[in-house]
Structure 1
């Protein structure tokens, strides 16, 4: 779907699928006198219609600053627990050859070569996700177990930067709404994404799952942002030059090649987004189509190769035999599950976040020249895109899939929810302005949007509600681990994370110091929720024990209960 704005500012209103009445002239946005930051030019007028008072500057800046502080505070425990994180299962499975190459005295080039060979072998034996396997095989623990925690740091950084970039394109480029709404939207989206993941350990800390899903979701957001800029032919700073467009088109092609070789859920959503960008270019800016089509062609080719890999059929036959639902049941199940999770994930935390964002949405809409036409169509397309994310797992597994898959669906859901609500709020603002234009009067706004004190009280009440809710969850043993940062903080403060880290290093010491090819190690006795994926077994009839033994050059490594 095309999202475009007029290239000129002033009194004009975007035209396109829906045009404003000929007599509708949107009032000039009041501005402060003197040298004022660009963002503060969009502060709404007071109830009298006069220029806004300085109080508006304080409340909006304070609100945005409070959200940044909240985001930073939430990040502290997430980063602080990273040094206690350790590799597990598929980290050893995909990375063992690269690790052994380094152990044998090889260079980083040799490790990369082993990773490429792993991708080749996996293509024919397990799955066709060619780029993802290379990244899995080069997990930080390959170089040193002490570096493994850096993987989670990188995942968090990728998610934050990609979300910020995508939000910047929509808020500053498309809506021309300035930095304050951008800070509010990006902070709230990231807070929801990081705190309410269905499976935090798989979304952030278990490298194998996080790089395969969360990281590729981040790349998809960057692709979407680049596509919007290429279709519009401009950034917030002005029109794109031919060179600027070419550079971004090349970057989009490279991203398309990488993302096409990742997980199928992100792949399906990315294919639809790139296809939508091509349609938007045809309808709105045919001359820009040449910058989108190469990436779309590369993506379709790469995704087709990934799906056609012989390993996919072998995996389906060995792991999911008989689970395939077929096309009709897959579409029906995906549609129903999409609606189900819209209801389940539209919880109090999301409502609170949208409530905090509401004044910023009005602020953005009043500054923007978008018409915000057809909000129901935007909501319908968003729902269809969300439903499409369920199709790969229903088609192959017959269900919604594990927590790591649900993680990126939730991330997508949060982004789409903000877009839909922003579009609906923008449409309401446009209708209010149109009614005011009919009467020749300034649009009347509720006191919340015309009084700095009322707005400050509203935001303070929302923040207190959020803080109170977080505190209540933290004190309730049944829900203490529901929020990722609270769970991480509890593990750090209780010493659980340190105890887990100590047991891991003790196990490695036992293995490395043993002269025997057959080593027995005690099971772990602690496991922080955000870090612990599981343990090895007391037999060699599974791949985890086998790969761990191979990792350390042993014939077998078995676990036993230490207390026995």
Structure 2
């Protein structure tokens, strides 16, 4: 009688894993296609012009002269460091937004965001999974794609996370580096099987990443410090000090940021709240986000993660002690979300912009994944509740599993966590909303109108330009962040395009 095929066999069947991975990758790419196509209609807005004025002038005069472009980006960084915000890395990146080469290139923002995010997710997954289950060589790609897909589809503010360069690139690359830094911390916490060279490399990378994140964004820098602090406390108890350099560099980077002259100028323009009020308010707001984000797409994600996380939780590399208190995952996630919301609540009196909620959302997703991992390990290794029987029963219905997986991914691509937020019930998940805006012509109308505005502003014969705001039917939810208001130029369009003046007038 033939031996029954089980999930245990699947984890050792390279050909079966390849087949599943091909289907999985193909389906995710198809579902993300509308969101990618929508990027062709994205156009610059607001702070894009202010940060890129110098680099745009270089392109206009010298073309793509990268020596001059990098010098202009550095000048921009120094200016904003002294006069507005201490983002000594972010300012440099924002000065190089794609539209300095023409509006038609602005859609590259989508790739500028997702490629670093995917690469950091993949690198982090490889580091962690190869420590726990070295034989699972295809699992890092599957998990990194799944998390990327979940991030995109459920993003609370897709325009500020995917299509508006200044908003997205001011947060997400540094969050991606935080994910990678956390994986490096995990590896250094268990250095026994690491070569001396790899240990040193991880320490150097972690130290450098801490400085980069500190100059990227304050909230993400705070998140990075909290994660490293937790890892340091755990490791120091066993006389492992390899994470300390990364923690020190992260603190130094954030201190440079928050003590910069420009940061002082910026904070003077906001009215903060009292310490106690900010603590209480951010605690409540974190809880409200939990309630809003606990929905069907999230359940689909957790179900898709269950089998691989259960497999990883059985790793003999990990001690049973790690799983004794599974509630630490949920508690830690809540604390991290609270801390990220606390900083803008204390300094600016509010929860912050949608781009901040995007990174809070992604922290929430990863935190729940860790919590699920700890729960599965607790059930299996602490409570001795075998989940193998459930896996065997599931395998009896293996012919339905591809359809079930596809249905859950489609659900995530259609519903989306932001659809349950107040005042946003009429919007779909990112992919379905993108398909809708492409089909109804809103995206095309948005791009066409802004290209006409660009033609006026780029016309050298026009020294005093007049432009009009977008109409109500030219503001697609995924692409529209904000627009000019009637009156004088407040966006920095005048120096960006080299005009004597730019005035916004009512639309006829």
Q: If the length of structure 1 is used for normalisation, what is the TM-score? A: 0.80
> Which of 29, 44, 47 is the aligned partner of 1:72?
29
Q: Where does 1:259-270 land on structure 2 (aligned, <5 Å)?
A: 259-270=213-224
Q: CA deviation at 1:410?
A: 0.2
Please name the residue that 2:313 is paired with. Answer: 365
Q: Tell me which residue corresponds to 2:505.
A: 560
In the alignment, the residues of structure 1 paired with residue 287 and residue 357 of structure 2 have an alpha-carbon distance, to the nearest angstrom, of 14
Secondary structure at 1:130 match in 2: coil
Which residue in the other structure is 2:479 paired with? 531
Aligned to 1:27: none
Post-superposition offset of 1:260: 0.6
Asked whether the 8 Å contact 1:204–1:214 carries over to 2, the reply is no
Tell me, what secondary structure is at the counterpart of 1:270?
helix
User: Which residue, out of 80, 89, 92, partners 2:49?
Assistant: 92
Q: 2 CA distance for matches of 1:230 and 1:452?
A: 37
| Structure 2 counterparts to residues 89-238 of structure 1, below 5 A | 89-105=46-62, 107-174=65-132, 176=134, 178-179=136-137, 181-233=139-191
Gaps of 5+ in 2: none
The 5-angstrom pairing of residues 115-514 of structure 1 reads 115-174=73-132, 176=134, 178-179=136-137, 181-233=139-191, 239-284=193-238, 286=240, 289=241, 291-318=242-269, 320-321=270-271, 323-326=272-275, 328-370=276-318, 371=320, 372-431=323-382, 434=384, 445-457=388-400, 460-461=403-404, 463-464=406-407, 467=410, 481-513=427-459
Quickly say closer, same or farther: Cα 1:132–1:457, change in 2 above 3 A: same
- For 1:104, what is the secondary structure of its paired residue? helix
Contact 2:297/2:408 (8 A) holds in 1: no
Structure 1 residue runs without a partner (length 5+):
1-31, 34-39, 45-51, 436-442
- The structure that has the greater radius of gyration is 1
CA-to-partner distance for each residue in 1:54-87, whole Å, 9 max, x for gaps? 9998987665554423321222122222222211
Distance in 1 separating the partners of 2:356 and 2:165 = 14
Separation in structure 2 between the aligned mates of residue 311 and residue 132 of structure 1, nearest angstrom: 13
Q: CA RMSD in A?
A: 3.1
SS at match of 1:280: helix
The C-alpha deviation readout for 1:91-125, integer Å capped at 9, x for no partner, is 10111022213323383222222222222222232
Which deviations, in whole Å up to 9, do the C-alpha atoms of 1:391-435 show, x marking residues without a partner?
211111122111011000001110111110111012111146x47
- Is contact 2:486-2:506 (8 Å) kept? no
**Contact persistence 2:415–2:428 (CA under 8 A):** no
**C-alpha contact (below 8 Å) 1:537/1:558 kept by paired residues:** no
1: CA distance, partners of 2:20 / 2:427: 27
Q: Between Structure 1 and Structure 2, how many residues are aligned?
A: 495
CA contact (8 A) 1:177 1:365 kept: no
Q: Cα 1:466–1:147, aligned 2, differ >3 Å: closer, same or farther?
A: closer
**Equivalent residue for 2:7?**
43
* Counterparts in 2 of 1:250 and 1:121: CA distance versus 1, 3 Å: same
Specify the SS of the correspondent of 1:284: coil
**Alpha-carbon deviation of 1:351?**
0.9
- Secondary structure of 2:373's match? helix
Structure 1 residues 519 and 444: alpha-carbon distance in aligned structure 2, compared to 1, 3 A threshold: closer
Map of 1:543 onto structure 2: 490
Rounded to whole Å, the distance in 2 between the matches of 1:230 and 1:558 is: 57
In the aligned structure 2, how far is the partner of 1:67 from the partner of 1:561? 50
TM-score (structure 2 length as normaliser): 0.88
For residues 147 and 232 of structure 2, the distance between their equivalents in structure 1, rounded to whole angstroms, comes to 27
Given that 1:94 and 1:137 are in contact with CA atoms closer than 8 Å, whether structure 2 keeps it comes out as: yes
Alignment partners' CA distance in 1, 2:411 and 2:367:
27
Tell me the distance in 1 between the aligned counterparts of 2:33 and 2:400.
28
Residues 431 and 59 of structure 1, relative CA distance in 2, 3 Å threshold: farther
- How far did 1:375 drift? 0.9
